[in-house]
Structure formats: structure tokens, C-alpha cells
Amino acid sequence: MTVEPIGPDSTTLTIRSPLTGELVGTVPIATPADVAAAVTASREAFGHWGRLTHHERRHALRAYTRHVLANMDRIADTIRAETGKDRGEAMAEVTAALTAMDYFARHAGRILRPKRGRSWPFPTTKGWTEYHPRGVAAVITPWNFPFYLMMLSTIQALAAGCTVVAKPSEVTPHSGALVAVLAAETGLGDGVVRVVHGGAETGDALVRSDADMVAFTGSSAVGKRIAAVAAETLKPVILELGGKDALIVLEDANVKRAAQAAVSWGMFNAGQTCVGVERVYVVDDVYDEFVEEAAKVISALNAGEGGKGDIGPFISPDQVDVVERHVTDALERGASVVSGGSRRTIGHGVYFEPTLVVGVDHDMELMREETFGPVVPVMRVEDEDEAVRVANDSPYGLHGSVWTRNRRRGARVAARLTTGTVAVNDHLINFFVPSITLAGTGESGLGGHLGEEGLKSFCVPKGITSARTLPTTMLMGGWLPRRVGPRYWKLLARSLFGWRR
Ligand code: NAD
């Protein structure tokens, strides 16, 4: 991508292809007044959308899903134009979006059904929790999966009954905006999904607007800024942030498969993947075999234009500086490169060769900071305990994976990792399974996406009680003037709970 010009004086974003430098298009930058107007229109739309039954919304969202399915080529072409991704990867991104759309359209009604509470110890009261849509959801997303990530938050918001004001990345505005364009074409209703364009200023204006909540996906640095602004009005935020995801290979793993996975998911989307492989820890017994297998896989890959090469260009060319800095720092501190290691410029595109680094440790930036490039650093560890200790030695906690032929052991190790999601004998799959919660810990985020918990994040949980006969507080002696004293409460507590073991 090339974004020009952008800043407080500019009124337009001009987007060029990272592959060819050709003009993709221009979009107007929203002013704070435009953002406020979009939120007002979204609130008006909420008056209708928020009152639909789940059955009615399901009908509308299934039509939306069908429309996205019918427009896969158009969406993939836009993603490819703005990101330079291989067309297959762009199409996979749309397929992933469809998976989430299908799931939330079909299951939101069941997930958000009122939940009955147990009456005990108040049999004279019944109670339940209802899930009401929060209202207008501000959805702010990054550039690495520009359609999928925008759709992921949008579909959950819509299924919960919220309306959406979307702010796509300034790097990939057309891909993100398609979520609103396709919603309008489906006939979801005027203003149900609105879009505002721009960079940090527009995003900041949206966070400070009257929107009822913020669903943010992006870097940890920006996530913290958003949390601080939202805290001023106690606006609920969901933060899906950066990661430094570890892949652990135990001595009883299928080493060949683990090596293929490490390279595949370390290189996927040219390494620009929040849940990709950023670090690898291999138990001593199988370390040499792993490195040999990984080297074999990686040396057959090429940086090059999607379709011809395997690793595409950086979507944001500045990222190559970060990747190069991390690799250089590692080499200066004693690591060595088995394969790759350099930047390349091919035509207009900026690339980094698929790279395997060994001899790394936690003094190196490559093992501590998010690299976001096609680099797989591999560290030798003594055993399972050391693997878990070093994997947990990170401020991030997004995703991780464990490779072992013993699935019980895999689940046990997964439970010891301080990340929001873990895959056993796979990697990254969690990102695409809509029924399983995706929630980062530490600097990787707050709140959750996906699964029942993710959907409920777009709702206000409302607890309701209803007296079956006389008010329970009256029956229990809680009313004034006071008729019971401390002895009564003690006796009551003992009779209720004293017999429990
Ligand atoms: P970024 O944080 O720079 O930008 C993300 C979005 O926030 C953009 O739309 C940007 O315009 C907007 N923004 C910037 N400053 C803002 C502010 N002050 N207030 C409101 N909005 C603001 O991230 P990026 O560089 O676009 O994306 C890469 C990052 O995203 C990586 O760290 C990656 O790990 C992370 N990411 C996380 C997930 C996840 O699910 N956890 C998924 C994809 C990417």
C-alpha cells in the first residue's frame, strides 16, 4: 500500500497497489462532524434493527451471507488490489468471513436466549438474564485481513442487534468498506452498517463519539490508547491486539508435520498474521530433526508476487524495517540464519525472503517483540517444562500451539499456556472457528471475540427477577420496621448452608 496524502489537512486517502503501484482508488477522509453524523444515523437505524426479533434478523443476515457468497470474486479482487495478497489467500479470507456469517446468523437466537437462574435459596423468586444489544458499535480494524476482520466484528454486532459504524484501516479502506456496501445492497436497512474513512484522527473521533461500544482489532499500542479514551466514559471495549505466538514441539510430536505447520503459518500472509507463528520451541531430542525438516520446507519457498512466488509483498512497506531490525539484532547477538534473511524489492513490491533463524534466545527482539514478517525463529529447550516457561515469558498472550502425539498431554500443556487460545496439533485454526472464543490476555487484548462470550460482548446482560407470590425480601424479614435481628440471620445462614460438606 501507499497512502498519500494523509494528515489533518488532507481530505482524501489515495490507495495504490503494493504490487504494482497502480491506483486502486480514493476515499474521502471523514471529519469529526462526519463521524458524529454517521453515529447519529446509526442510532436511528438501531431504532428499527435493534427491535427485530432474532428470527427476523436471522432471515436478513442469511440474505447478507448469500450476497457475500455471490460476490466472492469482487471482494477477493479488492483485497488483492489493496494488499497484494495471492488471490487464493484473498479468497480464503472471504471464505473465513462466510464461516462466521453463517454461524452467527444461525446461532445468535439460541445463544442470546434468556438464561433462567436457579431459584435456590429464594424459591419465592424466579430470575433470568436477558441479552440486549448495546446499541451503536464502533468497529475499527487493521489492514492484514481487511475484509475478514471487519466482517468478524460486524456480523457479531449485527447478530446481537447492534448497528455498526465501521472504520477500516486507512491502508485498506475499500476492502473494509465492502462490508457496508454489501449490507446496503442486501437491503439490511439504511444506516445499519455505515463506514467512515481515515487514520488515527478518524478512529479517535469514533471512539470519542456517542457510539455505545468499541470493537477494536489492531496493535497493542493503539489498543491501550483506545482503552484510556473509552475509560473516560466507561465505554465498553473489546480489544483484539498483537501477539508473539509460540509453537511448541514436544519429543513425541510428528516432527515433520510440526515443521511444515511452523513454516506455513509463520509465512502465511507474508507473516502479517496476529495468530501466526512468531516463535518456535523444540525439545532437545527432536531439535535437529525439526530444523532439518523446516529448512527443507522453507528453502523451497520464494518471495515473489502472489501466484508466482509463495510469499507476497508487505502490505505496508515500512514493516520490512521492523523485520530487518529484528533479524539483524538476533544475528548480532549470536543467532544464525539457516535460510533467507534479506529484504528484496521486486518491481514495486517490498518483500522479505522466507527466513529460518536458529540459536535464538529471549535477549533478542526477534523472540520478544511482534515481528509481523516471514521469519521463523527456532529455540532449543530441554523439556516440556522449559518450553512452557519460555512460551509464557512474554507480555503477549494471544495464541499458541502444542505438538505431541499424546492428545491428553497436549490438552494439559495447552492449559498451562497463558494465552487466550491454543491449538493442539494445529496452529491458527482457532481464528477461523466461530463457535470457540478468541480472547487475548496481557498485551494481546481485553474481552473476547467469537463464541458465545464474543457475541455476548455486544450485549448488555440484564438480570430480571420476578416474585412468584409475595416479595421475597418481605417474606424473609428484610423490610422495615425491623422484625428480626442478627440471631435470625445466623440461624437462617446455618440452616441453609450448615449441612453442606
Ligand atoms: P494499528 O493499531 O496501527 O491500526 C488499527 C486501526 O486503528 C486502524 O484502522 C487505524 O486507523 C486505527 N487507529 C490508529 N490510531 C487510532 C487511535 N488513536 N484511535 C482509534 N483508532 C486508531 O494496527 P495495524 O498496523 O493496522 O495492524 C497490525 C496490528 O494488528 C498487529 O499488531 C496485529 O497483531 C494486530 N492484529 C490483531 C488481531 C487479533 O485478532 N488479535 C488481528 C489482526 C491484527
Sequential DSSP letters for 340-368: ---EEEETTEEEE--EEEES--TTSHHHH
Q: b/e per residue, 399-424, with b = 16+ CB within 10 A?
A: bbbbbbeeeeebeebbeebebbbbbb
Determine the atom of ligand 1 nearest the C-alpha atom of 223. 2
Are the C-beta atoms of residues 457 and 152 closer than 8 Å to each other? no
The three cell numbers of residue 402 are 502444542
Q: Specify the CATH number for 2-241+452-460; select among 3.40.605.10, 3.40.190.10, 3.30.420.40, 3.40.50.720.
A: 3.40.605.10
pLDDT of 306 reads: 56
Burial class (CB within 10 angstroms; exposed 0-12, middle 13-18, buried 19+) of 217? buried
pLDDT of 7 reads: 41
Nearest to 439, CA basis, from 392, 398, 411, 400: 398
From the CB of residue 381, how many other CB atoms can be counted at a distance below 10 Å?
21
3-state secondary structure 391-455: HCCCCEECCEEEECCCHHHHHHHHHHCCCCCCEECCCCHHHHCCCCCECCEECCEECCECHHHHH
CB of 143 sitting under 6 A from ligand 1 = yes
pLDDT of 415 reads: 98
Sequential DSSP letters for 139-150: EE--SSSTTHHH
CA 245 to centroid of ligand 1, rounded, Å: 17
- Candidates 3, 145, 219: which one to mutate for ligand 1, based on the most atoms within 8 Å of Cβ? 219
What type of residue sits at position 169? Answer: S
CA distances, 390 to each of 7, 279, 409 (Å) = 41, 10, 18
CB of 274 sitting under 6 A from ligand 1 = yes
The three cell numbers of residue 113 are 436466549
Strand order in the sheet with 163-167: 193-195, 163-167, 136-140, 213-217, 237-240, 445-446
Determine the atom of ligand 1 nearest the C-alpha atom of 440. 41
CA 240 to centroid of ligand 1, rounded, Å: 9
pLDDT of 2 reads: 39
Q: Catalytic residue numbers?
A: 240, 274
pLDDT of 5 reads: 37
Q: Alpha-carbon distance 66 to 186, whole Å? A: 9
Taking each helix axis as running N to C, give the angle between helix 54-70 and helix 87-111, from 0 to 180 degrees, rounded to the nearest 10.
Answer: 170
Determine the atom of ligand 1 nearest the C-alpha atom of 168. 9
Domain ranges of the chain: 2-241+452-460, 246-432
The residue ranges of the chain whose pLDDT is under 50 are 1-9
CA 170 to centroid of ligand 1, rounded, Å: 10
CB of 218 sitting under 6 A from ligand 1 = yes
**β-sheet bridge partners, residue 158:** none
pTM over 0.85: yes
CB of 420 sitting under 6 A from ligand 1 = no
Are the C-beta atoms of residues 390 and 416 closer than 8 Å to each other? no
Determine the atom of ligand 1 nearest the C-alpha atom of 274. 34
Residues 6+ apart with CB under 8 A from 221: none
Domain 246-432: CATH superfamily is Aldehyde Dehydrogenase; Chain A, domain 2 (3.40.309.10)
Burial class (CB within 10 angstroms; exposed 0-12, middle 13-18, buried 19+) of 195? buried
Residue length, the chain?
501
Are the C-beta atoms of residues 310 and 304 closer than 8 Å to each other? yes
- Please state the φ and ψ torsions of residue 290, each to the nearest 5 degrees: -60, -50
CB of 226 sitting under 6 A from ligand 1 = yes
Nearest to 496, CA basis, from 478, 474, 468, 476: 476
Residues 6+ apart with CB under 8 A from 113: none
Q: Alpha-carbon distance 57 to 53, whole Å? A: 6
